[in-house]
């Protein structure tokens, strides 16, 4: 069964192939849910937190459960919503610097998985290439 969001953006910012089968890719991305990492940008320490949700009824996104991730439940394609919250860790506390939302469409291509990335809005903050680097594990 496909899990598609009917309002997925018509224009995608970046497309690439992940060298894993569809179910492995889906489980890998779902494993990034609620992950936090820190990185240094310039002179600041930045904390990045991910929140990942999956299309549930073509119109909304919901939590990813173990039931959804069972092999054979989702086939062909799935749409995911990834919220990325970046906060600068300064002496006085945490200061939000970016709260970006990305849409991912992962499509089964047998031995690999195609991923399309579209950013909601056009503001500053992270871009599709940053999202790709997060997915591939290249956190700088």
Q: Is the pLDDT score of 11 beyond 70?
A: yes
In a domain, 45, yes or no: yes
Grouping H, G, I as helix, E, B as strand and the rest as coil, residue 86 is strand
In a domain, 3, yes or no: no
The pLDDT score that the predictor gives to residue 124 is 75
In a domain, 128, yes or no: yes
38: nearest Cα among 49, 30, 51, 29: 49
In a domain, 36, yes or no: yes
In a domain, 93, yes or no: yes
In a domain, 54, yes or no: yes
Q: Is the pLDDT score of 17 beyond 60?
A: yes
**Interstrand relation of 44-55 and 36-41 (parallel, antiparallel or unpaired):** antiparallel
CA distance 96 to 111: 39
In a domain, 34, yes or no: yes
The pLDDT score that the predictor gives to residue 138 is 52
Query: 103: domain range?
Result: 14-132
- Tens of pLDDT, residues 23-80: 999 999 999 999 998 888 778 898 889 999 999 988 999 999 988 888 888 889 999 9
In a domain, 52, yes or no: yes
Average pLDDT estimate for 6-17: 93
- Tens of pLDDT, residues 74-109: 889 999 999 999 898 888 888 888 889 999 999 999
For residue 19 the two structure tokens come to 């060298």
Average pLDDT estimate for 124-138: 85
**Domain count of the fold of the chain:** 1
pTM of this structure:
0.87
């Amino acid at each position: 069964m496909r899990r598609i969001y009917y309002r997925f953006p018509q224009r995608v910012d970046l497309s690439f192939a992940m060298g894993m089968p569809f179910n492995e890719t889906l489980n890998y991305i779902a494993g990034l849910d609620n992950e936090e990492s820190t990185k240094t940008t310039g002179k600041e320490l930045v904390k990045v937190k991910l929140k990942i949700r999956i299309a549930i009824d073509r119109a909304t996104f919901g939590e990813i459960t173990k039931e959804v991730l069972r092999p054979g439940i989702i086939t062909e394609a799935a749409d995911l919503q990834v919220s990325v919250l970046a906060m600068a860790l300064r002496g006085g506390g945490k200061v939000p610097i970016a709260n970006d939302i990305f849409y991912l469409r992962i499509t089964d291509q047998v031995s690999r998985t195609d991923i399309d990335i579209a950013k909601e809005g056009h503001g500053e903050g992270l871009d599709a290439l940053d999202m790709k680097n997060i997915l591939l594990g290249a956190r700088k």
